[in-house]
C-alpha cells in the first residue's frame, strides 16, 4: 500500500509513503510547486500526521518499521523524534544523547540513511558550527523545512 500527500500549506513537498503490514516502511520526498492534497489508498495515521504537521500542530506517534537498521542507527533516529518542532540539535549532541560522544560522524551516517525523512526529522540536525550539513533529500528542501518550522 502506498500513500501520497501534497501539503496544502507548509513545505512544498510531495510525501510518498510505502506502508507494509500497517507500519511505515519507506518515505520519499519530492519538491513540488503547488499545495493540492492528493492521497492514494489513504492510511489514516499517516494522513493525520501530515495534516497536523502542515498546520503546525502536535503530530503524534507513527508506526515505523525499524528492522532494516542497526541498533545504533535506530537509537539515533529515535533520538531525532524527540527534537521538538521548530528546534534543532547538533550531530554532536545527538551522539552524546546516544552514549557515543565522539560518534557525531556516525550520527550523520544514520541521518543519511534515514528511511523516514520528515517523519523522523533528520533535517533538524545541524553541524556544531551552525552550518546546515547534509540532507538525503537535498539541501534546498532542508532549508525549506527548517524555515517552515521556525517561521
Q: Are residues 50 and 79 in the same domain?
A: no
C-alpha cell at 126: 545541524
Domain holding 78: CATH number?
A: 1.10.10.10
Chunk the chain into consecutive blocks of 10 residues (it has 151) and report each block's average pLDDT, rounded to whole numbers. 75 82 84 60 78 89 86 95 96 96 95 93 95 89 92 84
Residue 87 has a pLDDT of 96
Range of the domain at 124: 71-150
Residue 126 to residue 132: CA distance in whole angstroms: 5
Q: Are residues 92 and 125 in the same domain?
A: yes
User: Which residues participate in catalysis according to the annotation?
Assistant: 122
Q: Are residues 39 and 106 in the same domain?
A: no
Residue 34 has a pLDDT of 56
Residue 115 has a pLDDT of 92
Our count of domains for the chain comes to 2
Residue 59 lies in a domain: no
Residue 65 lies in a domain: no
The pTM of the full predicted model, rounded to 2 decimals, is: 0.87
Total residue length of the chain: 151
Amino acid at each position: 500500500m502506498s500513500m501520497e500527500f501534497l501539503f496544502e500549506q507548509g513545505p512544498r513537498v510531495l510525501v510518498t509513503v510505502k506502508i507494509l503490514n500497517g507500519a511505515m516502511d519507506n518515505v520519499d520526498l519530492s519538491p513540488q510547486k503547488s499545495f493540492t492534497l492528493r492521497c492514494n489508498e489513504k492510511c489514516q495515521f499517516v494522513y493525520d500526521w501530515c495534516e497536523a504537521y502542515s498546520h503546525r500542530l502536535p503530530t503524534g506517534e507513527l508506526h515505523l518499521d525499524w528492522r532494516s537498521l542497526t541498533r545504533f542507527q535506530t537509537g539515533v533516529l529515535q533520538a531525532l523524534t524527540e527534537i521538538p518542532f521548530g528546534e534543532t540539535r547538533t550531530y554532536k549532541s545527538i551522539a552524546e544523547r546516544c552514549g557515543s560522544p565522539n560518534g557525531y560522524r556516525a550520527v550523520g551516517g544514520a541521518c543519511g540513511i534515514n528511511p523516514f525523512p520528515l517523519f523522523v526529522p533528520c533535517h533538524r540536525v545541524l553541524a556544531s558550527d551552525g552550518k546546515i550539513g547534509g540532507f538525503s533529500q537535498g539541501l534546498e528542501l532542508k532549508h525549506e523545512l527548517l524555515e517552515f518550522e521556525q517561521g
